[in-house]
Amino acid sequence: MSDAGVVIVGAGLAGATVATGLAQAGYSGTITLIGEEAYAPYQRPPLSKGVINGEIGVDALLVKPESYYAQKQIQLIKGCRVQSIQAEECRVRLDDGEQLSYSSLVLSTGSRPRDLPIKGVGLKHVFSLRGIDDAQAIKDALPEKGRLVIIGAGYVGLELAASCVKQGLDVTVLERASRVMERSASPQVSEYYQSMHEAAGVKVVCNVNVSALQGEHQVMAVEAEDGLTWPADVVVIGIGAVANTELAQKAGLKCDDGIVIDDQCRSSHANIFAAGDCTRQIHALLQTSLRLESVQNATAQARMIVAQIMNKPAPRSEVPWFWSDQFDIRLQIAGIVRPDYTSMLRGDPSSGSFSVLHMMGDRLQALEAINSPMDFTLGKRLIGEQIPVNTDSIIDESIPLYPQPVMPKSG
């Protein structure tokens, strides 16, 4: 039987991990990796940190050196958009009209910054931050000691704020919600981060509904619904990301804020897989439907797809985890923080190192570790194993989070 090969649409971390994983596993068919950007696959997390600071150049971001793909017989097509998928014929059509056949298709189309539908977003010096070109443009636009207004206090916005205030810029962060990192972190952690940013000189304003960007050609100020304005030389909008599902939807694949995939990363079409930010999946351990935007999710789903295509044993499912570096504070989150969990503090925030534990009854469900790497590692294990724990001992810093003392059996 002839094998038409694997076509991978989207050359971010997920797509690159599928391609390199297949090559390493000895896949014998052709591997084609198609990306819209002009760059070989690269790491995005440093864009809001080292790249903005000028500490990291583009070459240092590459997942693999560009020559690696040719060496491994991976056909890397850059600067190319896939127009459509003919799922019945197992073919994709590229924007130049070329058609490629596949035996397996992988959609790793990623996500894009959410649009802010207000007046003035088309003005010069208004940006979002997703790719190398965005980071470069922001860097080039920022005048020395200039005024940067960031709309949105999520990870991207806060990491950017931390990087820029360190460079002596005048930084303001405007957030619609009542606290920073509202979507992903607990109130305790939000409060800690807000105070850290304020101590470093970032102006953080919550409960702001931005209504317009003012300026003739170039942005001059940000205006809120209540009439308040903030002068700005550069505005960066970071209000979350939207899954790129259009291609999948057009091909008739099931989508629901993300391409819906099963636990083997298969879409509703048997030989079409999907991985990374663009997917929605019932998490095997947490048994809840999630669309995760993280490095770990991208690589874990990619490795699952490699295992499926190569007919190898499936990798074990892992508790989702995330990280954020701001100033010299490292936040590591394991599990998904939900408001219905009971939260407990382990350690003293004023020491600069503590964790917030999130419990459902006597089981740990999620954990936020601030400069507490061992709590993160051991807590992640505890979440994965769902062992009942004693809530007194779990907050006792003198006892490692894992293994926890055995609970006496109650009558």
Residues that bind other proteins (CB under 8 A): 13, 17, 21, 24-25, 43, 45-46, 60-61, 63-65, 67-68, 71-72, 295-296, 299, 303, 306-307, 323, 325, 330, 332, 373-374, 376-378, 380-381
Question: What is the rounded CA–CA span in Å between residue 212 and residue 118?
Answer: 5
Question: What is the rounded CA–CA span in Å between residue 123 and residue 143?
Answer: 17
Peptide bond just before 403 cis, omega within 30 deg: yes
Among residues 62 and 121, whose Cβ is nearest to other proteins?
62
CB of 352 to other proteins, least distance (A): 13
Among residues 341 and 376, whose Cβ is nearest to other proteins?
376
CB of 130 to other proteins, least distance (A): 16
Query: DSSP state, 166?
Result: H
Among residues 8 and 61, whose Cβ is nearest to other proteins?
61
Residue 41, exposed/middle/buried by CB under 10 A (0-12, 13-18, 19+)? Answer: buried
Among residues 27 and 230, whose Cβ is nearest to other proteins?
27
CB of 14 to other proteins, least distance (A): 11
Tokens representing 14 are 């997920």
CB of 142 to other proteins, least distance (A): 24
CB of 20 to other proteins, least distance (A): 8
Strand boundaries in 108-256, DSSP class E:
111-113, 126-127, 147-151, 170-174, 203-205, 210-214, 221-224, 229-231, 234-237, 241-243
Strand boundaries in 262-362, DSSP class E:
272-274, 279-282, 289-290, 321-326, 329-334, 342-348, 353-360
Among residues 221 and 307, whose Cβ is nearest to other proteins?
307
- The string of DSSP letters for 301-316 reads HHHHHHHHHTT-PPPP
Question: What is the rounded CA–CA span in Å between residue 194 and residue 200?
Answer: 10
Question: What is the rounded CA–CA span in Å between residue 390 and residue 405?
Answer: 8
CB of 235 to other proteins, least distance (A): 27
Among residues 64 and 197, whose Cβ is nearest to other proteins?
64
Tokens representing 288 are 């809840």
CB of 176 to other proteins, least distance (A): 29
Among residues 74 and 253, whose Cβ is nearest to other proteins?
74
